[in-house]
């Protein structure tokens, strides 16, 4: 790893009340001593860690800004190196001038994510915690934030380390028995190993089962509103969003393109796409909208199929029903304020089990829709007691590979294979789990992960 001293602006590059320039590395205290003049004369290299100092940043005897400098000495800092943070006024120009002064004094500009990368390489955090930092920054809702904070606190690392400890203990026993059969007997070991592997597989499976919920919590439920023209799709979107986002008229075919919005329902994030009404049309623009509506369905976690209950199901509805088979669907029976021609029984014939009746015009039944979405995806609630949600695709892939390796161990046991066969697949599982916390990764993967971070983190 690089051990030179790095610096970057750690707050957004926009005018604000405060800005922070962060420095990390063994020359941090030397650099701040060159450019910072404290109000009370002192040697900045000798001040205590975790202290704040008021003064001015000066270059060539000229004041750049008044500021507060925070000193955090190694190893008890974010990067486990000497860290200095200059808290200045949040003007873009002043932050740039202070950063230039720091660079001129001996630092270099940090790469994206390099501060967190150094925290990982210096052993202060594992790779799962480093990735959780990014998730905390980009959390879109309180559930995603809470899940990320649990991972940042080391919950995932603890679970992974526990699994690896069990696996490597079994490998060590097998190797000892093969090297010293007089003192280590493998009689009955296969049954004991089988029990332990099945237990580990079950735990990993629980994490894999949670991964879809984890992705939804992190990214949101991809939701498509679909229906034939004039069914009330845009009216429902406006109600969900809380404002007149889509044009609503009595003219069929008003919506000709997809309209995307992100909202939260009871804390659950939804990425909603309102679509053009599905029907046969010779209008080229409307046809493009219909095609985009069908394309949106492919990536949907949830489909809100809006039915106009004041008219009979037509060919357009039959086409939609065919398109959404196999999807998570909530059928919204709209226009309940009018005479009813279509009811729940007719939709149940098509194997739809989640049906809610509303009136978008009178805004009746909307809470029933919210409750149904919550129930469908989180069984009525989201619990964070001791549950760990896998929100990272890299983690999920490693978990899946570890599960497959453990399954091969069970197959070897069932086939009465020699014990050394067990070690091969056990070590593969051990290594795959190591990818999650960064104990078995190469430099390219590490660089790729931290490249996604912002400059000052």
370 with 313, same domain?
yes
In angstroms, the Cα distances linking 216 to 88, 138, 325, 330, 389 are 38, 14, 21, 17, 10
Residues paired with residue 226 on neighbouring β-strands, in sequence order: 305
Which residue's structure tokens are 């060539």? 60
* Of 48-62, 238-252, 296-310, minimum mean pLDDT range: 238-252
Q: What is the pLDDT of residues 168-223, one digit of tens each?
A: 888 888 888 777 776 667 677 888 899 999 999 999 998 888 776 666 666 677 88
* Of 178-182, 331-335, 339-343, minimum mean pLDDT range: 178-182
248: confidence class by pLDDT, cuts 50, 70, 90: very low
In angstroms, rounded to a whole number, what is the distance separating the alpha carbons of residues 186 and 303?
Answer: 55
150 with 282, same domain?
no
Indicate the residue among 126, 153, 176 that finishes a domain: 126
Transcribe 436-450 into DSSP letters.
Answer: HHTSS--HHHHHHHH
Average pLDDT over every residue of 30-58: 95
CA 103 to chain centre: 34
285: confidence class by pLDDT, cuts 50, 70, 90: low
211 with 223, same domain?
no
Indicate the residue among 74, 93, 126 that finishes a domain: 126
- Specify the number of domains making up the chain: 3
Print the domain residue range for 87: 6-126
In angstroms, rounded to a whole number, what is the distance separating the alpha carbons of residues 368 and 127?
Answer: 42
Residue 227 within a domain? yes
201 with 287, same domain?
no
Residues paired with residue 265 on neighbouring β-strands, in sequence order: 268
Residue 278 within a domain? yes
122 with 136, same domain?
no
Residue 257 within a domain? yes
144 with 66, same domain?
no
What CATH code is carried by the domain that includes residue 198?
Answer: 1.20.120.430
Residues paired with residue 332 on neighbouring β-strands, in sequence order: 306, 356
271 with 395, same domain?
no
Q: What is the pLDDT of residues 381-396, one digit of tens each?
A: 444 444 566 777 788 8
């Amino acid at each position: 790893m690089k051990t030179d001293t790095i610096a970057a602006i750690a707050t957004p590059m926009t005018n604000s009340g405060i800005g922070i320039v962060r420095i990390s590395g063994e020359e941090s205290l030397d650099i701040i001593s060159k450019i910072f003049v404290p109000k009370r004369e002192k040697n900045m290299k000798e001040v205590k860690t975790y202290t704040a100092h008021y003064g001015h940043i000066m270059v060539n005897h000229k004041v750049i800004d008044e500021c507060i400098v925070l000193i955090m000495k190694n190893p008890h800092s974010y990067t486990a190196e000497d860290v200095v943070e200059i808290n200045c006024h949040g003007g873009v120009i002043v932050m740039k001038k202070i950063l230039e002064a720091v660079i001129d004094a001996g630092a270099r500009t940090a790469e994206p994510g390099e501060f967190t990368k150094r925290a990982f390489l210096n052993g202060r955090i594992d790779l799962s915690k480093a990735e959780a930092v990014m998730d905390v920054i980009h959390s879109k809702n309180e559930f995603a934030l809470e899940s990320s904070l649990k991972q940042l606190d080391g919950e995932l690392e603890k679970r992974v380390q526990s699994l690896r400890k069990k696996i490597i203990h079994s490998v060590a026993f097998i190797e000892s028995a093969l090297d010293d059969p007089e003192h280590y007997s493998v009689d009955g070991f296969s049954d004991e190993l089988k029990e332990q592997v099945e237990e580990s597989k079950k735990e990993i499976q629980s994490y894999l089962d949670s991964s879809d919920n984890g992705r939804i919590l992190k990214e949101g439920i991809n939701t498509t509103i679909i229906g034939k023209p004039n069914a009330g799709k845009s009216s429902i979107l406006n109600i969900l969003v809380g404002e007149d986002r889509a044009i609503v008229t009595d003219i069929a075919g008003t919506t000709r393109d997809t309209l995307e919005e992100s909202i939260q329902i009871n804390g659950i994030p939804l990425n909603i796409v309102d679509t053009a009404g599905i029907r046969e049309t010779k209008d080229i623009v409307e046809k493009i909208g219909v095609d985009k509506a069908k394309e949106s369905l492919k990536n949907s976690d949830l489909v809100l199929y809006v039915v106009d209950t004041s008219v009979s199901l037509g060919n357009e509805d039959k086409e939609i029903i065919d398109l959404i088979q196999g999807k998570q669907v909530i059928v919204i029976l709209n226009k309940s304020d009018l005479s009813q021609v279509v009811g729940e029984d007719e939709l149940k014939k098509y194997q739809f089990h989640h049906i809610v009746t509303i009136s978008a015009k009178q805004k009746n039944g909307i809470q029933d829709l919210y409750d149904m979405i919550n129930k469908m995806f989180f069984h009525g609630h989201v619990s964070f007691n001791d549950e760990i949600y896998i929100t990272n695709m890299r983690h999920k892939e490693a978990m899946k590979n570890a599960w497959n390796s453990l399954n091969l161990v069970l197959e070897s046991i069932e086939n009465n294979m020699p014990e050394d066969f067990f070690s091969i697949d056990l070590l593969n599982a051990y290594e795959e789990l190591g990818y999650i916390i960064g104990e078995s990764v190469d430099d390219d993967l590490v660089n790729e992960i931290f490249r996604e971070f912002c400059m000052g983190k």
